[in-house]
Amino acid sequence: MNGDVLVKATVWVLSLVLALVFVSLGLGKIAGVEAQLARYDSWGLPLWGVKALGAVELAGGVSLLIPRWALVGAFALSLEMVASAMMHFSLNEDHLVMRALVLVFILLGISYLRVKRMAVNDLN
């Protein structure tokens, strides 16, 4: 298998998986799933904040599947996940810190591969 084809397939598979994760999380927050709302209420976050996070996750997840917008979506989701990691760190929720940081590193990896592919395509 050609290396470029493998990189392209990896980017799309990771993008699809993360899109499914963030779209489902975003829809849950926007729809007001009781378990999520209770968890955010216990952290002291207002309902409008939960809805705003849901909108960012939904838009970011969808944008991961649109090549022209994928970097913007990955950047927005990375910022949200860094903020999430910081909040969970302040609450001593180490497992949630790790989850957020893993998502950040995957998003950064996808972004790096997309930028690298764009640079290679520009040279050709």
Indicate whether 37 pLDDT > 90. no
pLDDT band at 122 (very low <50, low <70, confident <90, very high): low
Give backbone dihedrals phi and psi of 118, rounded to 5 degrees, phi first: -65, -40
Contacts of residue 10, Cβ cutoff 8 Å, sequence gap at least 6: 113
pLDDT in tens, 40-55: 888 888 989 999 999 9
Domain boundaries, the chain: 3-123
- Three-class SS state of 115: helix
How many beta carbons lie within 10 A of that of residue 19, not counting itself? 20
Q: Does the pLDDT at position 120 exceed 70?
A: no
User: What is the pLDDT, as a whole number, of residue 91?
Assistant: 93
Q: Can you list the pairs that 69-73 forms with residues at least 24 positions away whose Cβ atoms lie under 8 Å?
A: 70/15, 70/110, 70/111, 70/114, 71/111, 71/114, 71/115
Tokens of 17: 């998986």
Q: What is the dihedral of CA 67, 68, 74, 80, to 10 degrees?
A: -140
Q: What is the pLDDT of residue 117?
A: 79
pTM of the entire structure? 0.89
Q: Is 121 in contact with 25 (CB distance < 8 Å)?
A: no
**Single-letter amino acid, residue 73:** G
Write out pLDDT tens, residues 77-111. Answer: 999 999 999 999 999 999 999 999 999 999 999 99
- Using the predicted structure, report yes or no on whether residue 1 has a pLDDT greater than 60: no
Q: What confidence score (pLDDT) does residue 123 get?
A: 58
